[in-house]
Amino acid sequence: MRLTCQFHPLSISTGEEDVYFSVFYDSTTIGSGTYGFLPIIDTSAVDSLLLRASSANPDMGSAGPAEQRVRRWFWGTVSATPLPGYQFDHWNDGSRENPLRVQMVLDSVHYIASFKRGIFTVDADSYNKDEGWVVGGGRYNGFDTATLEVIANTGFRFSHWDDGNTDNPRRIEVMSDTSFIAYFAIDTTSHDDDTTAIIPVGEAQSLFSLTPNPTTGMVTLQLKSDKLNLETCTVTILDAAGHEVLRTTLDSQLSTLNLSSLPAGAYFVTLTAGTHADGDVRASRITATQKLILK
């Protein structure tokens, strides 16, 4: 058994569309007639809501679109764009999603974006650690200055950063997450008696030791080479961001450094010293660095 109904538009009269219909039972017409429909009206303009977006801190960033119409039950999107040095923080409803998708249900809505001074990461590394390495990098507030210093191993020299810059040390105003790679070249410069040799990191422990390492604050520095001139020994300590946190001179083969006032983290201890004339060294001055962990 099959019951079907077919509709056949006949004409469009004033305000109504007359439709003729036929009802079939197993292909046999069992009834027919006409009825009217009101014309379909596009109610999207009437049944839409206004979605707005703006910034609470125009000097830190913007939000948009400024306004858009979205049909009820449909979804709209707003987004926040921070200016350099800043980051999006939250919308006025507490949401931190960006872009934010919004389903329009009852009323028009206005989303206000709040921004804050950003916290960004500066990554700095060596393209080839056999040729040299980089001190600096880490987490910085927007508009802070990061200092990157390149230290070349013996036989090499710093050439350039991956963006073509040749500054060393290099100071950067931090405005966003960024990364830098240091490149080196073979050092063909002839060395004379005034040359400072950069001791590779792996060889620095043959010149001085740091104990304990890691340390909780007090660390003992011991000179291990009789080729160093004690009267010219200087110790410089940099934090992971390349900031100098301590500089002192040594007056004995065994010295105690008090780092208890510094925050926990990684530090770089650099020893710079003159050498005795009869010592079997590569230059009249040397610089050697070791990594120290403060817990």
Domain range annotation of the chain: 3-37, 48-117, 119-189, 196-295
The 10s digit of each residue's pLDDT in 45-80 is: 458 899 999 999 999 999 999 999 999 999 999 999
Residue 81 pLDDT > 60, yes or no? yes
Q: Is the pTM of this model over 0.85?
A: no
The mean predicted confidence, pLDDT, of the chain is: 79
**pLDDT attached to residue 189:** 59
Q: State the pLDDT at residue 51.
A: 96
Name the CATH code of domain 196-295 (choices 3.30.390.50, 3.40.50.1860, 3.40.50.720, 2.60.40.3080).
2.60.40.3080
**The two structure tokens encoding residue 29:** 């017409």
Distances (CA, A) of 74 to 68, 106, 110, 291: 12, 11, 16, 57
What number is the average pLDDT over the span 74-95?
96
- In angstroms, rounded to a whole number, what is the distance separating the alpha carbons of residues 245 and 186? 32
- pLDDT band for position 178 (50/70/90)? very high
Q: What is the dihedral of CA 242, 144, 173, 153, to 10 degrees?
A: 0
For 140-162, write each residue's pLDDT tens digit.
999 999 999 998 887 788 989 99
Least confident of 182-196, 198-212, 222-236: 182-196
